[in-house]
Each structure stands twice: as structure tokens, then as C-alpha cells.
Amino acid sequence: MGMFDIYRTVPPIRCPLTGEVIAKFQGKCSRCAGDVWVQGQKEPAQRSPGAGTMVFTSEEEAMNLPEMFSIHTSHDGKWYEVECRCEDGVWTKAELITVDELGAQGKRLYERR
């Protein structure tokens, strides 16, 4: 059982500095059970067994993404943060908002304007 879920953006997000595709992100806005969410789908593309580590008020809340959430990853020495939105329970938007240099005490390389 994982402590986060995996998120794949469609289309893939590219680093604004290098153009490289960032393949997957992680987040803690759902069950935190290692589920794999794909942008454009209402339910996880892959659901892991078990309850996960998050506590929800209802089973329905546990099985859906919130209206707004953020995901992140580290790749090639950089920290990427993405802001996401759902419409009618479907993950529809993913926007890269920051790219920071890891270990550089908040050195911001890219920020949404």
C-alpha cells in the first residue's frame, strides 16, 4: 500500500526549460493507496487493493478526486508542481505552476504568470 497516488497528465506536461516530458506525478488528494489516475477519466485507470492512508467522510468522497488539487514530482534535479481541476468529477485540467531547483533554497526557475 502506497502513501500517495500516481497521476498522469494528458497531454503530457513538458518542462518549460528543457522541453522534456514529465511522465508521472504524485499526490495525496485521493486514497493514497497507489492508485493510478489519468487525466480525462472519472475513475482511476488502476486501483490498488486496500483502503489507503487517507480518511474520508464517505465512500463516494474516497473514490473521487476533489474539484481542485495539486500534484508534484521531482525529475532531473528539479521540483515540478501542477495545479489540477475536475469538472463533473472528471479530471479535466492540469497546469504547471512552478519548477524549482532542488536543494537551491527556493530558487524558482519557472513560475506561472
Per-residue pLDDT reduced to its tens digit, 70-82? 999 998 888 999 9
In this structure, what C-alpha cell is assigned to residue 60?
463516494
Instruction: Output the pLDDT for position 102.
Output: 72
Instruction: Output the pLDDT for position 58.
Output: 46
Tallying the residues shown for the chain, one arrives at 113
Instruction: Output the pLDDT for position 63.
Output: 64
| Termini Cα distance of the chain | 37
Instruction: Output the pLDDT for position 104.
Output: 65
Instruction: Output the pLDDT for position 110.
Output: 67
Greater model confidence, 45 or 86: 86
For 7-44, how does the pLDDT look when each residue is reduced to its tens digit (9 = 90+)?
999 999 999 888 999 989 999 877 777 889 999 998 88
User: Where are the strands (E) in the chain, listed by range?
Assistant: 5-8, 13-14, 21-22, 25-27, 36-38, 68-75, 78-87, 90-101, 108-111
pLDDT at 90 over 90: yes
CB 6 within 8 A of CB 26: yes
In this structure, what C-alpha cell is assigned to residue 80?
515540478
pLDDT at 3 over 90: no
- Evaluate the omega torsion of the peptide bond into residue 12 and state whether it is cis, within 30 degrees of 0: no
The reported pTM is: 0.78
Residue ranges per structural domain of the chain? 5-111
Instruction: Output the pLDDT for position 103.
Output: 67
